[in-house]
Structure 1
Amino acid sequence: MKHKLLTIFVLLALLLGLAPAQAAIAESESTPPAVLNAEDWSQIEELLAEALPSQQAYLKASSTDWYDYFGASVAISGDTVVVGAYLEDSNVTGVNGNQGNNLAEDSGAVYVFVRSGRTWSQQAYLKASNTGANDLFGYSVAVSGDTIVVGAWGEASNATGVDGNQNDNSADRSGAAYIFTRSGTAWSQQAYLKASNTEADDWFGKSVAISGDTVVVGAWNEDSSATDVNGDQGNNLASMAGAAYVFTRSSGIWSQQAYLKASNTWQSDSFGFSVAISGDTIVVGAWQEDSNATGVNGDQANYSAPDSGAAYVFIRSGGIWSQQAYLKASNTGAFDYFGHSVAISGDTVVIGAREEASNATGVNGDQSDNSADKSGAAYVFTRSGGTWSQQAYLKASNTGAGDYFSLFSVAISGDTVVVGAPYEDSSATGVGGNQTDNSASASGAAYVFTRSGGIWSQRAYLKASNTGEGDGFGVSVTVSGDTVVVGAPYESSNATSVNGNQNDNSAFGSGAAYAFFQSHTATFRSTDAQDGWVLETGENTNRGGTKDSAATTLRLGDDASKKQYRSILSFATGATLPDNAVITKVTLKVRKQRIIGGGNPVTTFQGFMVDIKKGLFGTSALQAADFQTKASKTYGPFTTALAGGWYTINITTGKAYINKLATGDGLTQIRLRLKLDDNTNTISNFLSLYSGNASLASKPQLIVEYYIP
């Protein structure tokens, strides 16, 4: 594949409609432009394909059934995905019980999936410890590492605090949350959470969030008139004002740390309808708050913009929580419902306004034309020091009235934001399809935005692989690193588990979830002075003698004195690969120059051997001792055939020895040799390959595919 800098011209040529034969690139200042051949263009097409995510898995419940709404909630942490099905009906309790009966209608369930490599499988089936009809367990889910929190806002016990009595169901729809932990691959329930002021119809568990050892639970119908943190819970003078509760874990024991209320608590504000947490920062949405303020920390005292909505930022210092900011949209409007969905990652917050009405598209468009009713918007805020400001105003690339962009779902991980629009209508499938054909009403879509240098842009438009009318793809979204998961709770296939048949729609409203994956490919080229060949001092001495780091060739095989050639290749992988990159494939490519002595040395000497060193064989510069210095690991023999002038060797088994750190100058060094030491004759027989001193197009390549969890 051509160097990334050199692909710019090619990509531009594509945009201008030039045919492949019309696009030429120069490999260096000293070489003339070369017309791209079919192989070059194949590689360019691969690069273009890598620029967008692709669907990796189609997830269904192991107990798929009508109207379970699997996918109504989704959460991800690394290689673990959690999917809620809050209308599932089995009456079992705990983990991995019998899914076969439907004796507890709408009790709800949660399904845990894990990824190994690129393959997903179901790991667990979770139920409440006190499963009850209409509890809606799984309406909300969150995961952090080996801990899952599940909300069940329909649960009815009158217990308070942690691990109280679950059996007295006298507080209808008071709600509960459940903590599950994983040890090895086994899940178990760790805690049963209730509000400190449990009351009927508070809907505790409508929203949940987790970061490490801290959990936040929203109760958007809670009624106290308290304000700020740890106020008086004893009065119910502000009906449906809402609250949020913070719980922390110490040595496996959970306790309530804080009781959060808005700084301008008012009846029917629905504070706690959405919650999010990252480290010591919590965001709480109040989608029916009424002030007409705009931006950050505006006037909370007027109520002239009914149901415009707000969000509140709280921070923790030394175990004490306080409100840091009061966030409003930059274009506050009545009934925009700003705060209906919230998400946070580090110093960046995303807030959805499901019924915002501008007809703008993309990023930072015109907010003033409200001709697209209920199209929806999302707002990005960032923190510098302790000060928040709005960074971006996000709209769909195909804004349409009634699409409800950000309705229930926004998600963020680092510099990536995902927004769901479950009532979007296009019939497209997969990634980057046609957005203009609105023949699949309420099929739904999700939009991926990425940030570079403080500037946001839309990266991808996601649709289900089996787009169907009314599926609600985008009701829920979640993102972790390079993986996005989108829920479609009204999807109707009767498939079960992973990647089943999507075409039999006989299980109406069973629901599905879709995992999308963005892989990265980094191509490293061996560096001139740090690679070269070393010749053995004498037959079978296994010690290096003569060396050459300046030639444009590498050598493998033997000379007329039966001395073996070995070659060192040096790749600066540590300068590019992120420390948390999960490597999925490693390929070494070397280009043939010529053969001395005839025949095929690769078969004569029984194949390539690859010695990998995570770091340096000795020093970064080529030295004689590199011939025999011990490697981190050896792989082979590889009897790969020559194709298109290149030998391609899959060394994925050695991925653990690819250097992602600054140790050893951040280098991964490879010693390439042939299996047999010599072929016992006195005739030179060796393979010449191009070295790192050759032109860019001929240098040895180490191609590393990876993703960020």
Structure 2
Amino acid sequence: MWGLALICMLIAGAVLGHLPTRASAAAPSLHAATSRMTLAQAPTGLRIAARSVFGQPSSAQSASLQKAKLTAPDAAVGDYFGDSVAVSGSTAVVGAEQKDSGKGAAYVFVRSGMIWSEQAELKAADGAAGDLFGYSVAVSGSTAVVGAVGRSASTGAAYVFVRSGTTWSPQATLTASDGASGDSFANSVAVSGSIVVAGASNKNSSTGAAYAFLRSGTTWSQQAELTASDGGVFDGFGYSVAVSGSTAVVGAYGRSSAAGAAYVFARSGTTWSQQSELTASDGASGDLFGYSVAISYPIVLVGACCKNSSTGAAYVFAPLGTWSEQAKLTAPDGVSGDHFGSSVALSGTAALVGAYGVSSSKGAAYVFARAANEGTWSLQAKLTAADGAPNDNFGQSVALSGTTPVVGAYGKSSNTGAAYAYTLPSQQARLTASDGVSGDVFGYSVAISGSAAVVGAFAKSGNTGEAYVFVRSGTTWSQQARLIASDGASNDNFGYSVAISGSTAVVGAYQHAAKGAVYVFVRSGTIWTQQAELTAADGVSGDHFGYSVAVSGSTALVGAPAKSLSRGVAYVFLSSGTTWSQQAKLTASDSVPGDYFGYSVAIYGSSAVIGAYNKNSITGAAYAFVRSGATWSEQAKLTASDGASGDSFGWSVAIYGSRAVVGSLNSNFSTGAAYVFVHSGTTWTQQAKLTTLDGEYNDSFGASVALSGSTSVLGAPGTNSNGGAAYVFILP
């Protein structure tokens, strides 16, 4: 069996022969299924993060958004568990074709809540060594299909299993009506409802074929043999297959000197006919377009894993009158040898592309999403295994159902193999201002509490600024109110900072009257009214009071980082009925000019954390305060265990319960980092350092942080050439 890298080199050198299949555990497998800143510079947008990209914590104590690592309970070295994966709803199937001397097995896992557990181990009743049962897998609802490409001297067979309750039983064994030794039938399988499509890429001197089967009751019968209208020797038609409803896609990566092609077939009644031949607009010899295919009608995704010296690419097609290319997907950090596109999956408007060669074959998978009512696709996530190691081949196989990606890593632990399941966040709504115009900077600041969100637009109306309240009903968000300062004026920057807790919203206007002000709004029913305007008792011009705000219940915390020669101050306000009054003025015990204490603030109950990112030559610090009765006192000074000059630790802060997160966006040449602290009694200790596996210089990871329960979201606005990203971590 040949590794994909070798195949790409051979094809690039015009050396063509019998198309390879995975036949031993000795080699990689083939399979088709993703400057530092100052306070004055801050309004350039460092608090904005755009995309949802999952991060990987650098501390062993932490866990990423990876929800489960799936392994076989009877795992053994060389099983190749994870060489094929499939998922449908809360059910995943993972193949291990080298199990028991190549007899093979497939494992069914089910998710309950966020927990995955094994439900069944599937085997062929007539299995024999070398069958490679599990070489390909597919699942649709309670029907699973498992390919055994080595069956009967590589004639091949596919096995159908059905679930009743929690029990899986064999229903049928599918074979090609004209099958012959060496055809490799079921080297790829796909299922949609009662339709199964199986590829046989080595049929007829690797011209290849695919077969469509239909279930009636419990009986399966071959409905059609699919072939390319222009098929030729070594095309490898059928190496990859996909089906959605009455539409099937078949890859032929060897077509046209391995430039590759994919073919779309449509069923009408009992007749299948070729509808289109898909090729890449920039296709070239050796690209292996069609090595992987996926369909979620009406979208088709085709991988070309050897494109550009095996950097790889994937192409999106849609039937706009005729089938046409809509987009080309690539990894923004892709390099030669990544094999991006070696596996692909689709679900609705989300795409998952495997790149098992990334980082010495640790591997990765990339999630892309299509903008609603648009044809543009953007990177949403880069998935990696938290315990990834070279030669794991994570991304060799991928599957996607809704917000659940499953990624196989057959090389894990000396080819024992593993699969990883994730849960993606889903965008529920896009919020826009009812009166928004260009230049408003709507979205510069955001806050959420329960089913209400506040969004700032500080540049609106000549930087007078506004804020907007949105509320959710079910899954629908609607604008409930526009918040406007009663005495607002040009250049106030009202909305530069926002916070919300229950029915109380707080909005900062740090340039109001040159000193700054904060406005409190309260909701009664659906009506929001201004309840108070907060100012510092000792405020003077240039303080930047309101540059940062936070609120928890009846307590508001306001930062004034430029006060007292930029030593900085934070003010605590407390409400009694409808009256707000200043309760405390907080300063750092070791403050010096230029610290910018109060640049960031956070509060939870009687605990507060305040950032001073410019402390100690911009090393930075954060300070924890606690309230006892009406008295606030400094409890701890938080610093990074590995802090260095210029890190800007304290640029952003968040607190929830006994846990705080502090951003350090300029750490490691502005790659960025964040630190998790926990307190027990009066003692705060650093628990973890958060970084991203795909971090690069100037990403500014940690520019913004948020925390709720054990979930932290961290912004990295510099990622992807300032396209921006947000990383989600599940903390210990």
**Which category describes the TM-score, using the shorter chain as reference length?**
0.5 to 0.7
Structure 1 residues 391 and 646, CA, compared in 2 at 3 Å: closer, same or farther? farther
Cα distance in 1 between the residues matched to 2:451 and 2:227: 59
Correspondent of 1:468 among 378, 389, 409 = 389
Residue 205 (structure 1) aligns with:
186
| Structure 2 residue aligned with 1:262 | 228
Contact 1:590–1:689 (8 Å) recurs in 2: no
1:279 aligns with 2:245: yes
CA distance in 2, matches of 1:646, 1:182: 54
Contact conserved, 1:86 with 1:137, CA < 8 A, in 2? yes
Partner Cα separation in structure 1 for residue 140 and residue 133 of structure 2: 19
Q: Indicate conservation of the 8 Å contact 2:54/2:383, yes or no.
A: no
Deviations 1:543-593 (A, max 9, x none): xxxxxxxxxxxxxxxxxxxxxxxxxxx95225259xxxxxxxxxx974589
For 2:504 and 2:339, the matched residues in 1 are separated by 57
Helix, strand or coil: the match of 2:406? strand
Structure 1 residues 331 and 61: alpha-carbon distance in aligned structure 2, compared to 1, 3 A threshold? same
Unmatched runs of 5 consecutive residues or more in structure 2: 1-34, 57-63, 429-447, 453-470, 479-499, 506-524, 528-550, 556-575, 580-707, 712-732
Q: Indicate how the Cα distance of structure 1 residues 47 and 458 shifts in structure 2: closer, same or farther if over 3 A, else same.
A: closer
The equivalent position to 2:274 in structure 1, one of 307, 317, 323, is: 323
Q: Which residue of 2 aligns with 1:514?
A: 420
2:476 is equivalent to residue 575 of structure 1: yes
Written as runs of structure 1 = structure 2, the 5 A alignment for 1:67-82 is 67-82=78-93
Q: Does 1:442 align with 2:343?
A: no
CA offsets, 1:110-151, max 9 Å, x none? 011111111111111111121110100000000101110000
Distance 1:375 1:390 in 2: 20
Shift of 1:413: 0.9
Given that 1:524 and 1:571 are in contact with CA atoms closer than 8 Å, whether structure 2 keeps it comes out as no
Structure 2 match to 1:214:
195
For the Cα contact (< 8 Å) 2:141–2:193, is it kept in 1?
yes
2:39 is the counterpart of 1:58: no
Q: What is the rounded CA distance, in whole Å, between the counterparts of 1:46 and 1:131 in structure 2?
A: 51
Once residues 48 and 179 of structure 1 are traced to their aligned partners in structure 2, the CA distance between those partners, rounded to angstroms, is: 37
* 1:458 and 2:366 aligned: no
Matched, 1:149 2:149: no
Shift of 1:621: 10
Larger relative strand fraction: 2
Matched residue of 1:406: which SS? strand
User: Corresponding residue for 1:486?
Assistant: 407
**C-alpha contact (below 8 Å) 1:217/1:275 kept by paired residues:** yes
Report the Cα distance in structure 2 between the residues aligned to 1:47 and 1:512, rounded to whole angstroms: 28
Q: Specify the alignment match of 1:395 in structure 2.
A: 330
State the Cα deviation string for residues 464-511 of structure 1 (Å, max 9, x = none): 11121111111001111111111110010xxxxxxxxxxxxxxx2100
The match for 1:644 is 552
Residue 348 of structure 2: aligned partner: 414
| Distance change in 2, residues 1:48/1:463 (3 Å) | closer
- 2:702 corresponds to: none
Cα pair 2:501 2:552 within 8 Å, conserved: no
Offset from partner CA, 1:341-378 (integer Å, 9 cap, x none): 11111111111112111xxxxxxxxxxxxxxx122211
1:152-182 superposed Cα distances (whole Å, 9 cap, x missing partner): 00011xxxxxxxxxxxxxxx11000000111
The residue that corresponds to 1:377 in the other structure is 313
Match of 1:177 among 158, 164, 167: 158
Deviates more, 1:195-204 or 1:44-53: 44-53
- Identify the residue that residue 110 of structure 2 maps to in structure 1: 114
Once residues 267 and 282 of structure 1 are traced to their aligned partners in structure 2, the CA distance between those partners, rounded to angstroms, is: 22
Q: 1:19 to 1:219 in 2, by over 3 A?
A: farther
1:196 matched residue in structure 2: 177
CA distance in 2, matches of 1:66, 1:20: 58
Q: Which residue of 1 aligns with 2:357?
A: 423
Q: 1:18 to 1:646 in 2, by over 3 A?
A: farther
Letter in 2 for 1:180: F
Measured in 2, the distance between the counterparts of 1:488 and 1:422 equals: 8
2:512 corresponds to: none
Instruction: State the alpha-carbon separation in 2 of the partners of residues 461 and 337 from structure 1.
Output: 23
Q: Note closer, same or farther for the CA distance 1:49–1:272 as it changes in structure 2 (3 Å cut).
A: closer
Which runs of structure 2 are paired with 1:483-562 in the superposition (5 Å)?
483-492=404-413, 508-520=414-426
Taking the aligned partners of 1:195 and 1:456, their CA distance within structure 2 comes to 38
Report % sequence identity: 47
**CA distance in 2 between partners of 1:406 and 1:147 (Å):** 27
Could you tell me how far apart the structure 1 residues matched to 2:352 and 2:364 are? Answer: 11
Pairwise CA RMSD of aligned residues? 3.7
Query: What amino acid is the match of 1:178?
Result: Y
Deviation per residue, 1:440-486 (Å, 9 max, x gap): x2211111111112101111222111121111111001111111111
Alpha-carbon distance in structure 1 between the residues aligned to 2:346 and 2:65: 18
Write the distance in 2 (CA, Å) between the matches of 1:417 and 1:82. 19
The yes-or-no answer on 1:349 pairing with 2:360 is no
CA contact (8 A) 1:50 1:521 kept: no
1:419 positional shift = 1.1
- Tell me which amino acid in the other structure corresponds to 2:425: S
Decide whether the 8 Å contact of 2:295 with 2:345 is kept in 1. Answer: yes
Give, in angstroms, the shift of residue 54 of structure 1. 2.0
3-state SS of paired residue (2:82): strand
Q: For residue 87 of structure 1, what is the amino acid of its counterpart? A: Q
Contact (CA 8 Å) 2:80, 2:99: kept in 1 or not? yes
Q: Which TM-score applies when normalising by structure 2? A: 0.53
Q: CA deviation at 1:19?
A: 6.3
The separation in 2 between residues aligned to 1:209 and 1:51, in whole angstroms, is 32
Q: Which residue of structure 1 lines up, in the alignment, with residue 261 of structure 2?
A: 310
Secondary structure at 1:271's aligned position in 2? Answer: coil
Letter in 2 for 1:340: Y
Whether the aligned pair in 1 keeps the contact of 2:362 and 2:393 (CA below 8 Å) is yes
Q: Quote the Cα distance in structure 2 between the aligned partners of 1:689 and 1:179.
A: 68
Q: Deviations over 1:605-631 (max 9, x none)?
A: xxxxxxxxxxxxxxx999xxxxxxxxx
**Secondary structure in structure 1 of the residue aligned to 2:307:** coil
Distance, in Å, in 2 between the alignment partners of 1:375 and 1:443 is 15
Is 1:88 aligned to residue 99 of structure 2? yes
Q: Where do 5+ consecutive residues of structure 1 fail to align?
A: 1-14, 26-35, 90-104, 157-171, 224-238, 291-305, 358-372, 426-440, 493-507, 528-569, 578-587, 594-619, 623-642, 648-686, 691-702
